Copies of this chain bind each other. A is one copy, B any other.
Amino acid sequence: MIRLAVDAMGGDDAPESVVEGVELARNERDDIEFLLFGDEKQIRPLLSDDKNIKIIQADEVITMEDEPVRAVKRKKNSSLVLAAKAVKNGDADALVSIGSSGALLVASLLILGRIKGIDRPGFTATMPVMNSDRGFTMVDAGANADAKVANIEQYALLGKYYSEHVSHVKNPRVGLINNGTEADKGDMIHRKMHDALQVMGDNGEINFIGNIESRELLNGVADVVVTDGFTGNAVLKSIEGTAMSIMGMLKDSIMHGGIKAKLGALLLKDSLKKMANKMDYKRYGGAVLLGIKSPVVKGHGNSDPKTVKYVLFNAAEIVKSGYVESVKNHFTKVAEEKAAEKE
């Protein structure tokens, strides 16, 4: 049984959307146990069936308005803190929340802790590739806006192991987002990042393919896209915003285009649906916080129950994949090699 600790009180429509999403997931799979942390009085009436679902009472909630560090330290009985502690104590295998990203980041750092060798965790988001069923993984999608070169080196490794274990890509191609593909492109920090990744590529630590441009991401130019959290966030939101705007414009145009346009849309339904599905980032299972000692998955705050289901399935996949253990092994080995060199 895979055991997921779920913060039932985080998110715009919590606990309803979370509880419904958990039930959707449970109805499809019976290899997952769900530990729902939150207000039992609110959660119990929402449950139609408690098979494989356990409610653990949490008296407090961390809201979007709370300052993350203070909230995690003071609200010891909040749904998020109790869920994180359950993972820490070995009562659950992964932490899932659709609440405040900042609070989830802090709870993960303070309660679960970083993997030894990782200075700063990074969010990864999986994005679609047009001509392939397999998406690409972007690290960091926004956890660490002020990334340093050492962070980027670690993100490349975290992304590599994630791509191998969770997305099942062999020898994943790692690229750095830059403002041109040539090796000397970029501002000062991205030029240094490129050079550091190139050394890792030359060493065989990663399959580094060099600088890539954000224009090519959806064409599948790389399996692992490495970037600082500021740029990653901007690129991710640009892609999502453009996709939503185009879909919205097409929809509007069909709605106001009279019977001819509506008939056309009906005939084109399959194509339009395929496109909408491809670009529906909700299907991609949320953002995963890499570099923490246990899997941590974050869904959008506005996730509907179906989206919550995908986030839960993604968390279960990560647990099954053994991703975290591989990363731990890598950094333990590196530390041992360094210690041996010193002797």
Contacts and interface: CB of A to CB of B under 8 A. Distances in A.
B145 A179 contact: yes
A215 B240 contact: yes
Contacts of A231: 230-231, 234
A242 B261 contact: no
Contacts of A279: 246
A85 to B, nearest CB: 28
Stoichiometry (number of copies): 2
Contacts of A253: 270-271, 274-275
A241 B216 contact: yes
B145 A186 contact: yes
A257 B260 CA distance: 19
A219 B249 CA distance: 10
B187 A230 contact: yes
B214 A249 contact: no
Contact of A146 (B188, B216, B244): B188
A177 interface: yes
A301 to B, nearest CB: 13
B264 A237 contact: no
A206 to B, nearest CB: 21
Scoring A188, A245, A253 by chain B CB atoms within 10 A of each residue's CB, the highest score goes to: A245
Interface string A25-51: 000000000000000000000000000
Nearest to A188: B146
A233 B179 contact: yes
A334 interface: no
Contacts of A177: 234
Given A239-B242, A242-B218, A230 B274 contact: no
Interface in A241-294: 241-246, 248-250, 253-254, 257, 260-261, 263-272, 274-275, 278-279
A229 interface: yes
19 contacts: A177-B234, A179-B230, A179-B233, A179-B234, A213-B237, A214-B234, A214-B237, A215-B241, A217-B241, A231-B234, A235-B235, A242-B246, A250-B272, A250-B275, A254-B268, A257-B270, A257-B271, A264-B271, A268-B268
